[in-house]
Structure 1
Amino acid sequence: MISEDLRERRLALIQEHMDTEVTHDFDLTLETFHGHPHYEIVPTGEVYDGAEEVMRYYRTTREAFPDQRHDNVRTHVADESIIVEFDLLGTNLGEFYGLPPTGKSFRVPVIAVFSFEEDKIVNERVYFDAASLVTQIGRGELLALVGQQR
């Protein structure tokens, strides 16, 4: 079992990670990782490994959804990870998978599993209903991409 101090440091780091994603302070977001950022987007099979790839992921998704944010955040702490449940919201105001913006908004439930090495993140694995997201923003034609690695 982890100490209360380590638990609190990890929770504070998750809060910083999520806050800086919303404010687009991505250099600070990258600092929450243990030297080598790693993201896994489960519904699309996309994996972003290293600072350059993760920064590209941040920029691409925030160009498509500049107002992307979290609501109803709940955390569950385990010894090696923190599981965060939340609603992800945003509006498609920029290019998304090569398609022009629709101006439509989405709200989907998400589970993000943050794995740790001491008090730094080593991986974020994200689960969400991609079909609901693309349908809500009026891009049902993207359903064929769901589950395919890009």
Structure 2
Amino acid sequence: MSKPNLVELWEGHCRCEFETRDANATMATMVPEPYVNHIPTMTGGVGHEELKRFYADHFIPVNPPDFGLLPISRTVGEDTIVDEFICQFTHTTEIDWLLPGVPPTGRAVEIPMVAIVKFVGDKVAHEHIYWDQASVLTQIGLLDPTGLPVAGVETSHKVADKSLPSNTLMKRWQESTVPV
């Protein structure tokens, strides 16, 4: 028995979510009782009916028209994929899953994200999606980063370009010395 191609399956699932924007097609790529958990906002769903409702009403139709994902890295295991990517969009819609209850600000947003996706056979069983919510809130103007160890769009820039400076939030960095 051949092993399923997890990359093809995951990319097909993502096409249903972000290109065709079809909740039924998205659900067809998943096990009968899947779950999704967007960790910072605790959005998603458990079980077919709840997750279908989430996709149909609170995920697929609320993503802004310019919503895009920029791949950074991918690790493929026996039954799991870990994807690192940058999510980019202009906040022109109320994005229930990412910014629940926050009206559109019109601001550009870039967020580094990590998705941990578990498969059972050739179907998605669950997704755990992580991102830094403080970075999102800073970028849309709801969080003033002054005096806080928080960064905005710089977090995604640093993920995409390792040559950008590190330790910019560490006030004592300039005082430290290189070990001899």
- Scaled to the shorter chain, the TM-score interval is 0.7 to 0.9
> What's the CA shift string for 1:36-81, capped at 9, x where partnerless?
2310111223351123332343332442534322112532111131
Cα drift, residue 140 of structure 1: 2.7
One of 124, 139, 143 as aligned partner of 1:136: 139
Cα drift, residue 18 of structure 1: 1.4
The residue aligned with 2:77 is: 78
The number of residues matched between the two structures is 137
Q: Which moved more, 1:43-52 or 1:99-108?
A: 43-52
TM-score of the aligned structures, taking structure 1 as reference length: 0.78
Cα drift, residue 134 of structure 1: 2.1
The reply on whether 1:49 has 2:46 as its aligned counterpart is yes
The one-letter code matched in structure 1 to 2:86 is D
Return the alpha-carbon distance in structure 1 between the equivalents of residues 48 and 108 of structure 2: 29
The reply on whether 1:114 has 2:117 as its aligned counterpart is yes
The residue aligned with 1:147 is: none
The residue aligned with 1:144 is: none
C-alpha RMSD of matched pairs (Å): 2.3
**Structure 1, unaligned runs of 5 or more:** 142-150
> What's the CA shift string for 1:95-131, capped at 9, x where partnerless?
2422321111211111101111112111000011111
Q: Verify the 8 A CA contact 1:38 1:54 in the aligned structure 2.
A: yes
Q: Verify the 8 A CA contact 1:22 1:67 in the aligned structure 2.
A: no
TM-score of the aligned structures, taking structure 2 as reference length: 0.66
Distance 1:56 1:135, change over 3 A: farther
Secondary structure at 2:33 match in 1: coil
